[in-house]
Each structure stands twice: as C-alpha cells, then as structure tokens.
C-alpha cells in the first residue's frame, strides 16, 4: 500500500494553488420535534402554528483549503459532519453561513446510483447518469464499451436495473462516474463497491485518478485507506474542525485521542 501511495505522490505533484476554499462554513438544519403521520397533518399544523422545531448545527465555522492535485482525507465519527461538508462543497447544500469557492469541474461520488431510473436498462442509465454528470452523448458513445467492461455486467447491461443487486448497481454507477479524469473528485465511502476483486479494481482506479492530477476529497471510515491515499487530513467532530495537517500525524492524533 505504501508503494502505491509513494507512486501516487511521485506521479501527481501537488501544487499550492487552492482548488477549493472553504471559509467559515456553518450548516443548520431545522428538525421537527413532533411525529407527523401525513402531509395533510403537516400542512394543517403548520398553518395553525403548532409545529415544534429545534435547530441542529451540522457544521460550525469550518475553514480549510484543498490544493491542486492533492488528496485530502476527511475523518471523524458518524455525525461529525463529513458527508455534510462534501455536499456543501458539491453544491448540493447551500451553507447557512460562510462560503465555498471551487476552481474546476466537480464529479461528486456521494450517493452512487442516485440519478438512475429503475425502470430503464443499464445501457439506458449509462446515458442518463452520464448526462446528469455533464457528459455529452458523443462522449458517452465513445466511452460506452469501456464503462460496460469495467462494470463487469456483461449481458445484464440490457436488463432493467430494478432487477440488479445493490452490488451490480454500485458497480455500474462507479464505472460511469470514473470514466474521465475530473479536475475535482469528491468521494464518500465508495471503495466498498462490489466484491473483493471489484473493490481492488476500484482502489486502483482511484489511485490512477489521484496520480493523474485530479484534486480529491476523500471520506472513509477505513483509516488504512486514509493513510494510504491521502496527502493531508481534516478531522471533524460534531461539526467542528478539530485539526488539519499531514496525514500520519493527524491519523495518529485521531486514533490515540
């Protein structure tokens, strides 16, 4: 693993140009305290002013930079705010406070398969999901066979994906999402896709992207993956930035807390 990481660093030198700037980002959610069983009940109680809510701050004044060509790991326990900060950077969520500046096209791999239509075939979903990610039909036609071969779906590519197992669906989604080298890749716990052989192939593909100059934000509960793949690490707990810096030092601090 260390050899892979060393090769990654040697092939993909990190520039100090900031591709992503996160400045004092806070994210507030309003939670409904009452159990509401229907939309009608929600509307009725809202009009009557009888909805009880509370505030939950998923992120609190978080700031960091991500530099061109580097792999930044984000660690922390469940509920630390890791997925939320990825969604804010991806533009899926608008922060309650603060700002995010991104300099480059982003491919977010957050919820693989979320853009798929279960009634369409795998082939049709390649073009649907590819369009959602911003790929042209011409480009997808050129890359189609490469996507199918990587996914290992074979004849199942013409089967409606409602008949796919979760592993098959994830393999197809991963194959579409990684068909090009994006400027910024945002990854949330996707290296557990498929069986052991496909996981290893996915890991190698991720290393290829990382070594090719792609700037990567990487969330994983596997400290082994974080140590192997990341140049720097940001540590979040309860939405608050605890520490940021060199991978091994921050991982040691996190594991020995």
Domain membership flag for residue 162: yes
Using alpha carbons, select from 62, 64, 26, 73 the residue that is nearest to residue 215: 73
How far is residue 127 from each of residues 85, 135, 148, 206, measured CA to CA in Å?
28, 8, 12, 22
pLDDT at 110 > cutoff 90: no
Q: How many domains does the chain have?
A: 1
Q: How much is the pLDDT for 33?
A: 54
Tell me the CATH number at 155: 3.40.50.300
Distance CA 144, CA 210 (A): 23
Domain membership flag for residue 87: yes
Distance CA 170, CA 174 (A): 6
- State the average pLDDT over residues 230-252: 96
Domain membership flag for residue 110: yes
- State the average pLDDT over residues 20-39: 81
- Sorting pLDDT into bands at 50, 70 and 90, what band is 113? low
Domain membership flag for residue 131: yes
As a whole-number percent, the residues of the chain with pLDDT over 90 amount to 48
- State the average pLDDT over residues 92-114: 85
Domain membership flag for residue 163: yes
pLDDT at 142 > cutoff 80: yes
Residues 171, 153 contacting (CB under 8 angstroms): yes
- Sorting pLDDT into bands at 50, 70 and 90, what band is 42? low
**Better pLDDT: 25 or 175:** 25
- Sorting pLDDT into bands at 50, 70 and 90, what band is 10? very low
- State the average pLDDT over residues 160-174: 89
- Sorting pLDDT into bands at 50, 70 and 90, what band is 11? very low
Task: Kindly report which listed range (26-30, 53-57, 161-165) carries the lowest average pLDDT score.
Answer: 53-57
Domain membership flag for residue 80: yes
Distance CA 55, CA 185 (A): 31
Q: How much is the pLDDT for 5?
A: 47
Q: How much is the pLDDT for 58?
A: 95
Distance CA 49, CA 249 (A): 51
Domain range for 214:
2-34+55-255
Domain membership flag for residue 44: no
**Better pLDDT: 135 or 233:** 233
- State the average pLDDT over residues 98-127: 87
Domain membership flag for residue 49: no
């Amino acid at each position: 693993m260390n050899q892979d990481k060393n090769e990654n660093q040697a092939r993909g030198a990190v520039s100090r140009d900031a591709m992503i700037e996160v400045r004092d980002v806070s994210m507030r959610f309003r939670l409904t305290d009452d159990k509401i069983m229907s939309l009608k009940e929600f509307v009725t109680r809202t009009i009557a002013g009888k909805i009880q809510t509370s505030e939950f701050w998923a992120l609190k004044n978080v700031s960091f930079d991500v530099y061109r060509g580097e792999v930044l790991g984000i660690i922390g326990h469940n509920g630390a705010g890791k997925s939320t900060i990825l969604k804010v950077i991806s533009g899926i969520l608008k922060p309650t406070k603060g700002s995010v500046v991104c300099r480059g096209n982003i491919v977010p791999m957050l919820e693989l398969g979320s853009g798929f239509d279960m009634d369409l075939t795998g082939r049709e979903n390649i073009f649907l999901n590819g369009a959602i990610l911003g790929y042209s039909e011409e480009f997808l036609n050129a890359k189609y066979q490469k996507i199918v071969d990587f996914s290992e779906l074979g004849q199942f590519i013409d089967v409606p994906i409602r008949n796919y197992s979760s592993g098959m669906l994830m393999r197809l989604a991963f194959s579409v999402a990684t068909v090009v080298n994006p400027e910024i890749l945002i990854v949330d716990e996707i290296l557990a896709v498929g069986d052991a052989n496909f996981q290893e192939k996915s890991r190698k593909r991720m290393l290829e992207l990382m070594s090719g100059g792609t700037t990567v934000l990487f969330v994983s509960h596997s400290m082994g993956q974080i140590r192997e793949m990341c140049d720097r690490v940001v540590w979040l707990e309860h939405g608050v930035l605890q520490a940021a810096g060199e991978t091994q030092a921050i991982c040691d601090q996190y594991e020995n807390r």
